[in-house]
Amino acid sequence: MRSPPETPWIGRRALPADVLIGLIADTHIPEARATLWEEVYGALDGVDVILHAGDMHDVVVLDWLERVAPVIAVRGNGDDGGSGRPVQPHDPRLAHNQVVTAGGLRIGMTHTFNDLTALGTSVAQQIARHFGEPVDVVVAGDTHVPEVTELGGVLLVNPGSPTLPRNLQTQFGTIGFLHVRAGRIADVWIELLH
C-alpha cells in the first residue's frame, strides 16, 4: 500500500530562532493503547511546537497533540499500510520528510534514519535522499529506542516511543526535547514519562 499522492516528499517549515521543540515518535495508536498517556501532554506542556517522527497509526494523534502546541509530522511505515495497517489519509501537517528551519539551524525529520555505512549508504547520501539539502540535526523514529548521538557530523535525535518503548510492551516510554536559541542548539534531552 502507498500513501495518498497528496503527501509531499519533502515539507518545509520555518520556526523562530528561539524555540523549544517537543519530539515524539512511534505512538502506535490504537495498537499500543486507545489514547496517549496523559503524562505525554504534561511533559510537552510549554513547548512551542511538536515534531512527530512517524508511526502515529491514526492521524487523530496529531489533533490530540495540537491541544498542547502546533504539530509538524512525517509518515512512518505504519502510516502507509505497513503490516496490513490502514493507510492514513492526507493531512496538511504530514510529509514523508520535513525540513524545519529555526533561525540558521536546519532540522531534517524522517521516520527511518540509521547508520547504513556497512551497507554502502553514507549519512550524506541518506540526507540528500530524505531532505534534498544539508541539515544540522536529524530527528527520526522507527527503532523505539531513544538516542542522542553524532552520526557523520550530524546530530541524530530519536525520542523513542512514549507507548511502546524498545518496541516491547505497552508501558511508559520516552519523548525528547530540542531547545534552540539564536538558531543554535542550546540543549537536547530525552525524558522518561512517569
Whole-angstrom CA distances from 101 to 11, 31, 95, 104 are 11, 32, 15, 7
- Global pTM? 0.95
d(CA 131, CA 89): 22
Q: pLDDT 10s per residue in the chain (194 long)?
A: 455 558 899 999 999 999 999 999 999 999 999 999 999 999 999 999 999 999 999 999 999 999 999 999 999 999 988 778 889 998 999 999 999 999 999 999 999 998 777 677 889 999 999 999 999 999 999 999 999 999 889 999 999 999 999 878 899 999 999 999 999 999 999 999 99
